[in-house]
Amino acid sequence: MSNKVFKKEIRLSGSGGQGLITAGIILARAAVLDKVRVTQTQSYGPESRGGASRADVIISNDEFYYPEAVNFDVLLSLTQEACDKYLVNLKDSGILIADTTNIKNIVHTDAKVYKLKFTEIAMDKLGTTLPTNILTLAFLVKITGVVSENSLKIAVRDSMKPQFIDLNSKAVKIGFKLASDEMNKQ
Amino acid sequence: MSSNKNKPKVVLMQGNEAMARGALAAGLDFFAGYPITPSTEIAEICSIELPKINGKFIQMEDEIASISAIIGASLAGAKTMTATSGPGYSLMTEGIGFAKMTETPCVVVNVMRGGPSTGLPTKPSQSDIMQARWGNHGDAPAIALYPNSVSESYELSIRAMNLAEKYRTCVVLLSDEVLGHMREPIELPDLSQVKIVRRITPTKPPEWYQHYPDNPKYPMPKASFGEGYRFHVTGLSHDAKGFPTNRADETKVLMDRLRNKIAYHIDDIVQIENYQMEDAKIAIFAAGIASRAAKEAVVKARKKGIKVGLMRPLTIWPFPDAAVRKYLADKKAIIVPELNQGQLSLELKRVMGGIWNYEIRKTKKIKEIHRTDGLLITPDQILQSIMEVK
Amino acid sequence: MKKISQKSIHKYLRHDKKFPHVWCPGCSNGIVLGAVIRAIAELGLKKDNIAMVSGIGCSSRMPVYADFNTLHSLHGRAIAYATGVKMYKPEMDVVVITGDGDATAIGGNHFIHAARRNIDLTVILINNNIYGMTGGQYSPTTPYGDKATTTPYGNIDPTFDICQLAIGAGATFVARTSAYHAIEAQSFIKQAFEHKGFSLVEVISACPVIYGRLNKKGDAPTMMKQMKENVIPVKQYEKLSAEAKADKITKGILMHDTDKKEYTEAYSELINSLNKPEEESNE
């Protein structure tokens, strides 16, 4: 990690039950492994499935205080509703990662946009949509470099129940691969 | 244990978990609680950890039962805590008064959420600041602490347990939905290095033991049930041995002690943090989660060349009157951002004499920022106020 | 039965500053206090090891007179406070003194949940059918049609059968008698102490000064006689006609279940299961 001061505000958004808060926690754990400062917050409704849900992760090598993401460097959206709601706060220099399984319209933005059918890909390659959150997170990490890939792998392993480690490690690999492909395209 | 024992261990932890683990580090061995968002994780962690260390956890039938059970256990010798949020705290207030009146140590965590009533269960608030002071009926001073980070949640939880023990009272540990659910890295201390106020047991023979001595030393000694002292505990006005009394002289001694044990030890109890205050022309006065935005606003304002500082009380009650006078009196303006309709600012105005003193109001600006819609006050919102008063 | 002399009661009372007591002439509370102490003396329980917990009300003033670890808590909350004491120190004998209003109105929730848990508390419930301390308001056990200061036209509230309530909630020892049957009360209380689990002894009692006067029940001896005649064994009660049953209250041991697991014991087992020495070393 270079000595240049950096601060990345990341918002993971979608609906309850999509595992976004889990993804946020794993990203924050990876940041801890990278020995940088991190704060993870979340917002959710009263229901544990459905309803709007978001997790914010702020990663920096300098002190920062306000815990929620305000102007995002990275926005991940898994639902149309979340994408519509939060895109306005994405920096022009930022990155939008949108799951086009659910998102059909993206309003104009100057930010860089990655559009993939993450949920479909997860179903296709892993036979279940459950690890979509981890797959997408891995994609995000590879594209943005907000944490090291190795730390993410360890954080995923440390955060999962033993029976889910394999599946999610596979999801990480797929996410990384998708990101490489995208990067090569450009 | 692991071989790298001396290496500080940094882990990602949630604010609620930090409060539970802090209390455990301070010797918590009894927790009774009732589920309520956004405090429930504290109970969940205690239910996992306490039986492992021969402690006890019980989920009671409501919050009234929870506060009752921890007071009962505390009288039997336990170090106790319960955790709740606004609606549950409201139910607990009679019991909190009982703990104060009977000088029984316990800690009540209130992870504040939007109110009144059921309000916004999953959104942050700071609207129980006055309730922490005046929640129970009858005159009795309060101790309330309010951290602003995960690691401070851990530290102040230890401190709350210690203050409860030292002054034999109910200490309120405030948090809020964002702080309680927020995750940050925390460096866990070596448990053997944690300073714990241990319970002083009486050395006098039982027949001479006074559960409520007139002029106690602090930490105030305390016998427990089942140890041969057979003392009486009542919420009625009581004498030195704990027996009910209607006598004015005995009641006065009791009421004065309840007040003075806090009033005479304000320096020991009050904790504040000053940030960039020395040359500041404008001060922000903020606590808990609101102080995080405030600190960010200070940094932003300083970058613009505006001399702003932050005074943050970690101890909300007793209110840091002396520190407020000392550090805020010469400021041109004071900005008070809080997630309520003006509770800290009301107290600030009391200390600054602003409610009655026209002269002070003319020369001093107290700029209040209130927010009760369930969202946090942002740094930019505070920055805007700074620009207005500068 | 071991003979406990009346004089020996004094060993269990606090004499400094505590007497005369607050109870009215003719009140049954003293009789119940005597029965509790004789039961304790009979069992040879150690004073240091007894916690006596009460709520608010006439009966709840009892602990201050008794030389135990005593806790006069908040209205309705005695059982919740006692639960804290018992959970933390399961080796202590924890007895709760409560009344009909304290235990089944304001404290009804704690009462049924402690019974459900089957935590080893000995609850002595003195049922005088009225709120005496506040001057005679109707309680959940004030009989239909009776007068209280808040039922000036007669009570229309149906009543609780407290013992059935406790049984329904899961209490494992439930008995009822009256203050007239003081020796039986002593015996029930003794068995309640011996029982491991939630035990309830309901003692029907007389409040001649408040309830009695409001309802023209006569003086204290008359009310004693009424308890003698109206509180009858279950078997005798069952033989009566429906009409004759109306004024009667059953007495006896109504529930005695020794199979259900006691709560603090269950928690101890849980602790032990977690703290089994493990064969693992990180060193």
For B1-28, write each residue's pLDDT tens digit: 444 555 668 999 999 999 999 999 999 9
In angstroms, the CA B343 to CA B126 distance is 9
Number of domains in chain A: 1
Residue C70 DSSP symbol: E
Question: Per-residue pLDDT averaged across B183-205, rounded?
Answer: 93
| Residue A2 located in a structural domain | no
The label of the residue with tokens 């004498």 reads B239
B212-268 pLDDT, tens per residue? Answer: 998 888 998 899 999 999 999 999 999 999 999 999 999 999 999 999 999 999 999
In angstroms, rounded to a whole number, what is the distance separating the alpha carbons of residues C93 and C208? 32
User: Is A177 inside a domain boundary?
Assistant: yes
Closest-CA distance of chain B to residue C226, Å:
35
Compute the mean pLDDT over every residue in chain C, rounded to the nearest whole number: 95
Q: Which of A40, A41, A62, A159 to mutate to test the interface with B (most CBs of B within 10 A)?
A: A41
- Residue C143 falls inside a structural domain: yes
What domains can you pick out in chain B, each with its CATH number? 9-193 (3.40.50.970), 274-389 (3.40.50.920)
Note the pLDDT of residue A143.
97
Nearest to A61 by CA among A35, A25, A29: A35
Q: Is the pLDDT of residue C54 over 60?
A: yes
- Give a yes or no: residue A37 inside a domain: yes
- For residue C174, the enclosing domain spans 21-270
CATH number of the domain at A54, please: 3.40.920.10
CATH number of residue C91's parent domain: 3.40.50.970
The pTM of the full predicted model, rounded to 2 decimals, is: 0.96
CA distance B77 to chain C (A): 8
Residue range A64-84: average pLDDT? Answer: 96
**Residue A51 class from Cβ within 10 Å (0-12 exposed, 13-18 middle, 19+ buried)?**
middle
Q: Could you tell me the sign of the dihedral formed by the alpha carbons of A101, A103, A105, A109, in that order?
A: negative
Residue A179 is part of which domain span? 7-185
pLDDT per position as a tens digit, B259-296: 999 999 999 999 999 999 999 999 999 999 999 999 99
Is there a contact between C84 and B64 if contact means CB atoms under 8 Å apart?
no
Q: Which residue of B has its CA nearest to A36?
A: B185
Predicted confidence (pLDDT) per residue in B41-57, tens digit = 999 999 999 999 999 99
Output DSSP code: residue C66. B
Task: Give mean pLDDT, residues B193-219.
Answer: 91
Residues of A in contact with B184 (CB under 8 A): 38-40
- CA B180 – CA B14 distance, rounded (Å): 7
Which tens digit of pLDDT belongs to each residue from C236-283? Answer: 999 999 999 999 999 999 999 999 999 999 999 999 999 887 655 444
Number of C-beta neighbours around residue B203 at 10 A = 8
Number of domains in chain C: 1
B72–chain C Cβ distance below 8 A for any pair: yes
Calculate mean pLDDT across residues A104-133.
Answer: 96
Please give the pLDDT value at position B3.
Answer: 46
How large is the average pLDDT for residues C96-104? Answer: 98
C touches A, CB cut-off 8 Å, minimum 3 pairs:
no
Tell whether A11 is covered by a domain: yes
pLDDT digits (tens, 9 = 90+) for C158-212: 999 999 999 999 999 999 999 999 999 999 999 999 999 999 999 999 999 999 9
- What are φ and ψ of residue B353, in 5° steps? 70, 15
Tokens of B141: 């001073």
Q: Give the closest of B37, B122, B183 to A25, CB-based.
A: B183
Q: Is residue C182 part of a domain?
A: yes
The pLDDT of residue C17 is above 90: no
Say how far apart CA A98 and CA A119 lie, in whole Å.
11
What value does the mean pLDDT of chain B take? 94
- Give the pLDDT of residue B7: 61
Cα–Cα distance for residue pair B308/B383, rounded to 1 Å: 10
Helices (H) and strands (E) in chain A, counts: 6, 6
Neighbors of chain A with 3 or more C-beta pairs under 8 Å: B
Task: Write the DSSP assignment of A13-62 as a string of letters.
Answer: EEETTS-HHHHHHHHHHHHHHTT-EEEEEEEE-S-SSSSEEEEEEEEESS
At A186, the pLDDT band (50, 70, 90 cuts) reads confident
pLDDT at residue number C16: 76
The pLDDT of B183-190, averaged and rounded, is 96
A164 to A19, A133, A174, B68, B290: CA distances (angstroms)? 14, 13, 16, 42, 38
Please state whether the peptide bond connecting residue A67 to the residue before it is cis, i.e. omega within 30 degrees of 0. Answer: no
Would residue C56 count as lying in a domain?
yes
What tokens were used for B286?
Answer: 């903020």
* Mean pLDDT in residue range C63-91: 98
> Residue B272 is which amino acid?
I
Per-residue model confidence (pLDDT) at position C1: 59
Distance of CA C113 to the CA centre of its chain: 16
Of C88, C110, C280, which to mutate for an interface test with B (greatest number of B Cβ within 10 Å)? C88
pLDDT tens, position by position, A4-51: 899 999 999 999 889 999 999 999 999 999 999 999 999 877 666 667
pLDDT at B215: 83
- Can you tell me the distance from the alpha carbon of B295 to that of B312, in angstroms, rounded to the nearest whole number? 10
Contact between residue B35 and residue B41 where contact means Cβ atoms under 8 Å apart = no
Instruction: Tell me if A77 is assigned to some domain.
Output: yes
Coil, strand or helix at B366: strand
Residue of C nearest to B225 (CA): C69
> Residue C119 and residue C114: Cα distance in Å, rounded?
6
CB atoms within 10 A of CB B8: 9
Instruction: Nearest by CB to B58, from C47, C87, C109: name it.
Output: C87
Give every CB contact of residue C129 below 8 A, 6+ residues apart in sequence.
C100, C139, C141, C142, C143, C146, C207, C211
Residue A35 confidence (pLDDT): 96
- Calculate the CA dihedral of residues B361, B367, B370, B376 and round it to 10 degrees: -160
Residue B65 to residue C81: CA distance in whole angstroms: 7
In a domain, C158, yes or no: yes
What is the per-residue pLDDT for B329?
86
State the average pLDDT over residues C22-39: 96
Beta bridge partners of C98: C125
